[in-house]
Structure 1
Amino acid sequence: MYRIFVNDKPIILTTEVSPEHNFKNYLMSSVNIGKVIKELNSTSLEEVRIIGKKQETLIKKFLKKLPNVIAGGGKVINDKGEVLFIYRNDKWDLPKGKTEGKETIEETALREVEEETGVSGLSIVKPMETTYHIFKRNGKHKIKITYWFEMKSNYKGDLLPQENEGITKVVWLNQEEQIKALENSYANIRSLI
């Protein structure tokens, strides 16, 4: 099963048909993605389920329905066990950004975290869940596919928010502070913490 978020409401890709209750079912072969996005944004529906035939082809078929934007990001943990958060667009988030040129997704994630936060000395510990969300730019919907990595750093210097990217704060948060921050975050970020 895959979840693609439209704001905080998921489009769930599945092979199972369930009776509708606070959600709608659509067939992958005939779904109108624009209509689904509009429904999620303008009704009380909690989610939409898109039904495909084979589990292994669900995401591949769905990703063909909208232009893709590839991004990499990091959940950075310091030697105190705190996680690095950014504050952008009035929400707590993790640092991430789009790939540039021929860089690998790992290089993208490391570069973006450093650019957005000022934290250096980053190393990747392991890959994490990939997240998907739909956004609108210049009147067109796109799917952002973000490849996440758990990272570590023993950086002790100043945290420098990348203001030209709309980031107003960069902070290390302990477990209690993370729980509070996640109340004002995105569903796909909550799934990573």
Structure 2
Amino acid sequence: MYKVFVNEKKLTLSKYPEEVEKKLRYEGFATLEIAIDLLQNTSCPELNVYCENLEELWEDFSHMFRVIEAAGGIVSNGNKEILFIKRLNRWDLPKGKVEKEESLEQAAVREVEEETGLKELILEEFVNNTFHIYTERNGERILKTTYWFKMSYVGTGTATPQLEEGITAVDWKSDARIKTEVFPSTFQNIKLILNEVRERNP
């Protein structure tokens, strides 16, 4: 199953119909165009496209976009707090585009270091990837795939926001503060990946 966010609305691509309000059986590219249009231009909150050959469905979906790969970190410290950045008044996790000749792991660590100023990081494991689509100003449609890695911070330094990237704050958040401060002001993809980390490490 793939979960792709379109304007913060969830498009689920699955083998079998999901229990959501709107479902479409995959019958070619037109089905996907209809699904995206419904999510972008109507009040439809969530939609499911299903096809028994899920990999073929995903391949067809991916071919509708230019795919951009990014990587980021879910960084925890000794107090079991998670590191967040604030950009455009929304809390987010540090992440960014993968550069040429760079592995996903290298990109994830580099982006955390650049966006937060923290260096003493231990890369632990790959968690999962998240997907969202958007349209560039020139009309080109982008499918952004972000690969998330769990990391630990073992240093004692103070985090500093990368101001030139529009980051205005960096902060460690406890579980309680994630619920009260982050979740009301973040993206659906971030909620998804944080919930997955919590399920793995209850």
What is the distance in 2 between the residues matched to 1:67 and 1:133? 12
Q: Give unmatched runs, 5+ long, in structure 2.
A: 195-202
Which residues of 2 match residues 40-59 of structure 1 at below 5 A? 40-59=39-58
Q: How far off its partner does 1:18 sit?
A: 5.9
Q: How far off its partner does 1:39 sit?
A: 2.2
SS in 2 for 1:155: coil
> Which deviates the most, 35-44 or 86-95?
35-44
Q: 1:57 to 1:123 in 2, by over 3 A?
A: farther
Residue 160 of structure 2 aligns with which residue?
160
Which residues of 2 match residues 13-92 of structure 1 at below 5 A? 13-17=13-17, 22-27=21-26, 29-31=28-30, 33=32, 35-92=34-91
Q: 1:18 to 1:184 in 2, by over 3 A?
A: closer
Matched, 1:126 2:137: no
> Which deviates the most, 23-32 or 37-46?
23-32
Per-residue CA deviation, residues 65-98 of structure 1 (Å, 9 max, x unaligned), is: 2110000000000111110001112211100000
What is the distance in 2 between the residues matched to 1:31 and 1:15? 18
Per-residue CA deviation, residues 97-149 of structure 1 (Å, 9 max, x unaligned), is: 00112000000000001101111111111110110011222232201100000
What is the distance in 1 between the residues matched to 2:110 and 2:127? 17
> Which deviates the most, 62-71 or 133-142?
133-142
Identity %: 35
The one-letter code matched in structure 1 to 2:69 is: I
Alpha-carbon RMSD: 1.9
What is the distance in 2 between the residues matched to 1:149 and 1:37? 29
The one-letter code matched in structure 2 to 1:38 is: D
Q: 1:140 to 1:60 in 2, by over 3 A?
A: same
Residue 179 of structure 2 aligns with which residue?
179
Q: How far off its partner does 1:23 sit?
A: 1.9
Q: How far off its partner does 1:47 sit?
A: 1.5
Residue 141 of structure 1 aligns with which residue?
141
- Is the contact made by 1:9 and 1:40 (CA closer than 8 Å) also made in structure 2? yes
The one-letter code matched in structure 2 to 1:50 is: V
- Is the contact made by 1:74 and 1:96 (CA closer than 8 Å) also made in structure 2? yes
The one-letter code matched in structure 2 to 1:87 is: K
Q: How far off its partner does 1:154 sit?
A: 1.8
Q: Give unmatched runs, 5+ long, in structure 1.
A: none
- Is the contact made by 1:26 and 1:48 (CA closer than 8 Å) also made in structure 2? no
- Greater percentage in helix: 2
**Number of residue pairs matched by the alignment:** 192
Residue 95 of structure 1 aligns with which residue?
94
> Which deviates the most, 48-57 or 72-81?
48-57
Which residues of 2 match residues 99-110 of structure 1 at below 5 A? 99-110=98-109
- Is the contact made by 1:105 and 1:147 (CA closer than 8 Å) also made in structure 2? yes
Q: How far off its partner does 1:16 sit?
A: 1.8
